[in-house]
Chains A and B, each alone.
Chain A
């Protein structure tokens, strides 16, 4: 027990490279996932059947299946159809799917809770449907969805820890290899946990703060 703290202190800096990969993975999953999420949020209620079915498929599977299954599907599954990707790219694809599916629902929820009066206000002014979407519904809906999108980003960051199962050299996998080569499992995993917490906890506070700030304006 006495050796625990010094061990953590020694291991922690060696894991920073892994943390960087975790953050990069989070960033790219959001970067590519959010536009698809926006697209699917309209797709699931679209009149066009093909667009709707595709959207519903991606949203339902992306939300219904564990991220771990999607990760393995991309990594072990895609070679079956002659697509071989590096572990980082396949992990990114899986998390883009997860992101798109969850954010589609969050964005849709935000858009649906734009107060009816504001839509009526824009109608009465004679705004076109496109302008109404562009200036009222989407900005207002995104504002309402913003805190929950931030909350999702935190969960996504945590989910990147599962990418170690498909050999992405991120934080968790670095902790694991440190642990198995030195048998100092406990300090290695605690150090990794502290690094995850150091990002997740302030980020969660930020999302709560954002929610409070935004609700003040509404």
Chain B
């Protein structure tokens, strides 16, 4: 019996009993998940397993049929009416990074990052620009501020997208295959930035096919298949000794590539 009471770890994200179907196609069945503060959760699994759907439900880009999402104390229940205020608060707490960046092509890099700060946080133009330049410099993109996104490489665009999300001061960052649209060499630039974020204590949920990142950076691995979480726990343990047949098959397929 230990005498020191375990320090209570706060969960930044809690997903409870999430379910979602598109017509007859049941995509998520009863998914529950907690993400402790400062941890990195990697989510893997075969295509169509529902990984993106879970992530997109977390900030209500997709509305779940039932279940509850809690991010940084803001609770949204799928069965109850969602107030716009609550939704805005929840989305502010979660920064999202997409596979295809989704930058605004008609704005310069600077405006892409500053405008949301002005509109959502009510920062002044000067404050927002200062914050933007600070983030861009940190990403090694200080010289790109006045360019349009189309003139930046894919890796640069993805780092700009990360900066855009970070600028709003999120409590958790959600990544949906952030390197899948990039050449491996360029993907490394993005992974480096993510690794740095993790080491600074940012809470992160990362859907990825990068097994190296899952093994070396994440503290928690979640394996999904057919709309369920079939296994979760310590990444190295799961990778070396998967409990579930489906996990074994998936890992074998990934490693054989």
Contact = CB atoms under 8 A, between A and B. Distances in A.
B161 to A, nearest CB: 8
Interface residues of A, number: 20
B116 interface: yes
A147 to B, nearest CB: 15
A125 B105 contact: no
Interface in B84-130: 84, 87-88, 91-92, 94-96, 98, 100-106, 115-116, 119-120
A124 B120 contact: no
A215 B116 CA distance: 25
Contacts of A131: 119
Contacts, number: 66
- Of A121, A122, A128, most buried by chain B (CB within 10 Å of CB) is A121
B105 A218 contact: yes
A125 B116 contact: yes
A145 B200 CA distance: 44
A127 B102 CA distance: 14
A contacts with B: majority SS: helix
A131 B120 CA distance: 9
Given A126-B91, A128-B88, A121 B98 contact: yes
Contacts of A121: 98, 102-104, 161
Contacts of A125: 91, 96, 116, 120, 164-165, 168
Interface of A: 117-118, 120-128, 131, 135-136, 139-140, 143, 216-218
Given A123-B61, A124-B102, A126-B120, 18 more contacts: A118-B103, A124-B59, A124-B61, A124-B95, A124-B165, A125-B120, A125-B164, A125-B165, A125-B168, A126-B87, A126-B88, A126-B116, A128-B84, A128-B88, A135-B115, A140-B104, A217-B105, A217-B150
